[in-house]
Amino acid sequence: MAAAAVLAGEVCVKSTKLGLKSKRYTSFSGRMRVKAGLQSAQEINGSKNSLKTGSLTVEDGFLSLVSVGINPMLLETSRQIKEEPAYAFDGGELVHGGLIFRQSFSIRSYEVGADKTCSMVTVMNHLQETSLNHARVTGVLHDGFGVTQEMSKRGLVWVVAKLQVVVERYPVWEDVVEIDSWVSSAGKHGMRREWYFRDARTGRAIASASSTLVMMNRHTRRLSKMPEEVKAEITPFFFERESIMPDDDKKLSKIDEEESTNVLTGLKARWTDLDCNQHVNNVKYIHWLLNSVPASIMESRVLVGLVMEYRKECQKGEEVRSLTTIEGHVDADADDDVECSHLLRLESGPELVRGRTTWRSRPLANSANTGEFA
């Protein structure tokens, strides 16, 4: 198992002739301001906002972007949708009755690489920041990454069990991106956090992501059931809808080191890799995983899909080995997607993460600064 996790946010948009723009309140001195007449989360979760399976439902002026068989990134976003934020604070707001958190970020020069676009690691850092700010603005953040007051009493923390990311395009320097994030239940003792990532100026889809979170006792380092007291704290903020993306249930196979395309050794969990829950942050695992991808893939293609299963956490001082295997034959001149399998394991043997990545042809020369894929 591994990595810190957190609570989540939402998905609503408002369009103008110039593109997508969210109505926002101005907060004073960084403090939260409450709008009068706000409906409770329980009311918003009621029948008025039910989802019709396999179709879009527009009720009470809101558009549900998630339904079975529909990719929300392909939906038209330039619709007039009634939307009033529930709260606002510097850097983000709660919308959709307080069940979805929305925050905007400007892509900085130090967040883009040689191809002039930001990386998967940058995308994940923004998603994580949105999640933490969502937990903070709802008032459930107590101590650590997404730790509530009742979790803190019992020595519990969230950890990521599974992560899925699909990228339509990568932002470039000075782009302004807008992220919606929300949480829902995942079985009896888990939680699912999801994100929808778009261009704030145009409303065009950038990425979507989904993660499954479970609880771990920070003292014993063992998984734990979710206490009823913790459920009472977080369930009022659950946005119970079908997942924004279908679950990728394709088995992640174990890599045979002898047959691996690339093996990277010498990775070590250092003090600077730890988060405030005292374990290696889940974004660091992505960094380690991508470090063993062959240069030929990195230079000719773009990462458009990522699936990771976290099996064990990594402690400070432990040494890690990153393995990558390219699945099938790769034709450098072909436009077909390339799939890679990945394994992170401790030098002492135990597996940390299994993963799979999908790579697409790099942007055409005449669109190198747009992030568009060929």
Q: Could you tell me if 149 and 299 are in contact, meaning their C-beta atoms sit under 8 angstroms apart?
A: no
Catalytic residues: 277, 279, 314
CA distances (Å), origin 217, targets 222, 316, 346: 6, 17, 21
Q: Which residues partner with 250 through β-bridges?
A: none
Q: Name the token pair of 286.
A: 């992505």
Q: Which residues partner with 42 through β-bridges?
A: none
Q: For residue 161, give the nearest of 282, 54, 331, 43 by alpha carbon.
A: 282
Q: For residue 235, give the nearest of 190, 196, 277, 194 by alpha carbon.
A: 190
Please state, as a whole number, how many other Cβ atoms lie within 10 Å of the Cβ of residue 216: 22
- Rounded to whole angstroms, how far apart are CA atoms 343 and 320? 10
Burial class (CB in 10 A: 0-12, 13-18, 19+), 251: exposed
Please state, as a whole number, how many other Cβ atoms lie within 10 Å of the Cβ of residue 153: 13
Q: Could you tell me if 263 and 33 are in contact, meaning their C-beta atoms sit under 8 angstroms apart?
A: no
- Rounded to whole angstroms, how far apart are CA atoms 199 and 104? 9
